[in-house]
Amino acid sequence: MSTARVVRVPEAETPSGFYAAAEKIYPREIRGRFSRLRQGAVVLLLGLFYGIAWLQWNGRQALLFDLPARKFHVFGLTLWPQDFLYLALLLIIAALSLFFFTALAGRLWCGYACPQTVWTELYTWIEQWTEGPRSRRMKLDRGPWTLQKLWRKGLKQLLWLALAAYTGFTFVGYFTPIRTLGTQIASLTLGPWASFWIFLYSLATYGNAGFLREQVCKYMCPYARFQSAMFDKNTLIISYDQARGEPRGARRRGSAPRPQGLGDCIDCTLCVQVCPTGIDIRQGLQYECIACGACIDACDDVMDKMGTPRGLIRYTTEHAVHGTATHVLRVRILVYAALLITIAGALVYSLATRTPLILDVIRDRNALYREVAGERIENAYTLKVINLDERPHSYRLAASGIVQLTVMAPTGLITAPPGAVSALPARLQAPAGAAAGVHRIVLTLSAVDAPRIVVHENARFIGPTP
């Protein structure tokens, strides 16, 4: 048998039998380092998902993307559609993080954090709890419909559906207040759209985690197809050590493989049985591999029992497999990291210095200027005031840039309700002697009830040509 690494690429399509028939995969249950890691991730991530929805902050939901009211509450912060930049930055950061961690350690996202993996894991736990371990599940599926089978399958479906419904409810609870949603469901007064979205997301959870499972990764996920673009020979991958394992073959426990002309692999196929996507890692790196590490746990267990060292299947890099040095710091990693730090820094800085007030100044287009009594020149503007805070504020307008520049209107307080865009006319006057030509002036809007909220906006003041 050749020891060359076989790298399988997505199979070329053939006219008939476009896709391989998806055979049901019965992943074998497994205990080990990486399974514990993933279980920890599942508990943590689902705990956050189901828990944060109920967290309160200053008397309202802490994290609420309130689409009906068009405002986002993120703990102490309220964001309006005008703050879209932050959302865009956040999405860019998410994408860059994915690139960074993929280049560094391969498909960490797929194996531990992807909702598809996390909910599939939860659904598999339910399946194992109701239908038993792999062999029992296979036997149950082959066997006739007995009362026992009906009971086990029924219980599984019931639990799956209940979990799906609660997941849909929680998901929609991030977009409309979850407590209100809960009371509406309890009193059967839920609106049609909320019901529809809850139903849709429940259906998606049930279908994706209960039935589609690995097919989502194999057929639907775009990331699975292009993640290899982030890979290089220094990226952590899960790999079977061909040189050590081959030729594979069965042998007695504790017997040395080499004298028998064998490698360390005893061909027990446990690595295949535990694989949630049903591949054989011994065929080399495959795009179906979500890097969950189940095969490592299975193989380590077997190697322990056989008395051979662990790591026949292990996290390694292509360089390490070929006996050359692996470099963690490399151009790709440094570029991703630099971009990530820069954009995350920009987001933090702009959030920290964010003033919940926007002032736009638009010059009146009808007249350049107006001469008014008392040797004065007047310019007219339209102010757009957007209060981005959670509560109403009163503001005062001031202007500077020319000596004796005065605000004629609005002289009183400008009040703006939260989230509202108010447009109001403004008039400024300056003495004719000082106003000749074009001047750059600064309009300052400051909240009288919150000294922190001050914005400055540049504008032009035009007087007669000197």
Please say which residue, 151 or 193, places its beta carbon nearer to other proteins. Answer: 193
Q: Of the two residues 82 and 411, which places its CB atom closer to other proteins in the complex?
A: 82
CB of 51 to other proteins, least distance (A): 25
Query: Would you say 66 or 364 has its CB closer to other proteins?
Result: 66
Among 399, 398, 396, which Cα is nearest to 416's? 396
CB nearer to other proteins: give 88 or 348.
88
Q: Which of 135, 127, 188 is nearest to 160 (CA)?
A: 127
CA distance linking residue 87 with residue 79, whole number of Å? 9
Residue (41 or 212) nearer to other proteins, CB: 212
CB of 161 to other proteins, least distance (A): 22
Query: Smallest distance from the beta carbon of 115 to other proteins, in angstroms?
Result: 14
Residue 106 beta carbon to other proteins: minimum distance, rounded to whole angstroms: 20
Q: Which residues bind other proteins (CB under 8 A)?
A: 9-19, 21, 67-68, 70, 81, 84, 87, 191, 193-194, 196-197, 219-220, 222, 225
Q: Which residue's CB is nearer to other proteins, number 13 or number 323?
A: 13
Q: List alpha helices for 53-133, DSSP H.
A: 84-105, 108, 115-131
Residues 214 and 22: their CA atoms lie apart, in Å, by 10
> Which of 359, 407, 398 shows the shortest CA–CA distance to 380?
407
Angle at which helices 192-205 and 147-172 pack, to 10 degrees?
Answer: 130
How far apart are CB 271 and other proteins at their closest, in Å? 26
Strands of the sheet containing 63-66, edge to edge, are 63-66, 71-74, 77-79
Which CB, 17 or 323, lies closer to other proteins?
Answer: 17
Question: Which 8-state DSSP code applies to residue 403?
Answer: T
* Of the candidates 414, 425, 417, 408, the residue with the CA atom closest to the CA atom of residue 455: 414
Kindly state the smallest distance separating residue 204's Cβ from other proteins, in Å.
Answer: 10
In 107-174, which ranges are E strands? none
275 neighbors 269 (Cβ within 8 angstroms) = no
| Least Cβ distance, residue 191 to other proteins (angstroms) | 7
